[in-house]
Amino acid sequence: MGKVAVGAAVVCAAAVCAAAALVVRHRMKSSGKWARALSILKEFEEKCGTPSSKLKQVADAMTVEMHAGLASEGGSKLKMIISYVHNLPTGDEKGLFYALDLGGTNFRVLRVHLGGKESRVVKQEFEEVSIPAHLMTGSSDELFDYIASALAKFVATESDSQHVSPGRQRELGFTFSFPVRQTSISSGTLIKWTKGFSVEDTVGQDVVGELTKAIERAGLDMRVAALVNDTVGTLAGGRYNNPDVAAAVILGTGTNAAYVEHAHAIPKWHGLLPKSGEMVINMEWGNFRSSHLPLTEYDQALDAGSLNPGEQIFEKMISGMYLGEIVRRVLCKMAEEAAIFGDTVPPKLKIPFILRTPHTSAMHHDTSPDLKVVATKLKDILEISNTSLKLRKLIVEVCDIVATRGARLSAAGIVGILKKLGRDTVKDGEKQKSVVALDGGLYEHYTKFRTCMENTLWELLGEEASENIAVEHSMDGSGIGAALLAASHSQYIEVEEP
């Protein structure tokens, strides 16, 4: 009897030992996996590093590329497009002006009543119109006739107090957010369509000419006074409100910058120098590239799989279109190599661009003690549930690394522009104020990104120079900005001047 009892005890002890060994092995295995996840995070953080010294190199490289792009066409990754805008709004503009903002599947028509220095923008009205899918792939005449007919309907809603002066044409600012080769303030040929448009017979044509013919067919007496890019419009809107505005930056789904250059500092400009002595340059800075940019394996993979490999590298590191996707790629690697979401990689996590920047922003801003927002986003978007607090904290860290790098690089780009203008340092007690107008959803809604970008700007400029630099939010450059440029380039300005 005793032998049986001893045997049973031995078997029981062996089973307990085996179970304990399994637990230990599981713990060792899971702690090994967690260590792998942390090592992926640490390596990513190091590769994304943006110490001041590196950012100063990025700013210097931006300045060098700006010089090269101004010297000759194709001389730099930065196109440095001459916008032909040389009269920015001053605040003195008066009258009724229109704007048309065509940048995607919807377009807007706006009416702005300007009252000069005292009244500024007296009234503004707008209407948004969606473009039927068949017109996005139809003929040029069909598309522009549809737009002109909506414009005519909108003009017909002018109130009695809102007509243009007798004997004058209505004037319009046209924001056209597609690649255009600008040939004057009010003409430019379409290089190619993007964003799902494929109206072949418009390519190579002057888009202002196409719109003007459609306006005439609609029986409307209206002149397109300015063809503008939304970033140039943001600069105009900023300058209208503050005469110290020297540059504008858009940080949204995409990113771009424009600034006011001395006309004599543009070697590739062969025309007469404008009376103002200034010229607005549309940098197309999303295409900036430098060996100093902290690129990672995730950026390289994102770029290789994109529709435009090797292009828009700066944009792919800092803009709203891509920040969420970089986070997804890092989490995917952690899921594959460190099994952070269990033994299989969640299928939804493998879908490119499923995690958008508004999602990662919401997770990054989660202040709840148990990171409830992070848990909800993971469940709703990626169908991942039962995550530990430790894992949710890790995900927030990934969001922080991606946003911080983007924000700090944006600041370095702005310093590059200020450097080109000689506004990055204080010269002999000079107190010239320089304001940068900013717009875009990323800047407006991603608070941690905005705060980090502004703090980095002051860090790079130093205390003394920072006192002369300010950042202001300039809203709706593609709308009001375009109407203001129609006003500042009106054919009737000369008539009004004494």
Active site residues: 108, 177, 230
Give the integer Cα–Cα distance in Å for 357 and 362.
8
Tally of CA atoms within 13 A in the half-sphere of 95 that contains its CB: 23
Tokens linked to 155: 């003009």
Q: How far apart, in whole angstroms, are the C-alpha atoms of residue 12 and residue 323?
A: 55
Q: Alpha-carbon distance 284 to 229, whole Å?
A: 10
Q: For residues 317 and 406, is the Cβ–Cβ distance under 8 A?
A: yes
Phi, psi angles (nearest 5°) of residue 488: -75, -15
- Whole-angstrom CA distances from 112 to 52, 90, 164, 346, 495 are 44, 16, 12, 51, 21
Tokens at 259, concatenated: 């600034």
d(CA 76, CA 69): 5
Q: CB of 379 within 8 A of CB of 387?
A: no
Q: In the 8-state DSSP scheme, what is residue 253?
A: S
Q: Is there a contact between 191 and 139 (Cβ–Cβ < 8 Å)?
A: no
Residue 113 region by backbone torsions, left for phi larger than 0, else alpha for psi between -120 and 50, else beta? beta
Q: Specify the residue for token string 């418009």.
A: 202
Provide the CA 91 distance to its chain's centre, in angstroms.
27
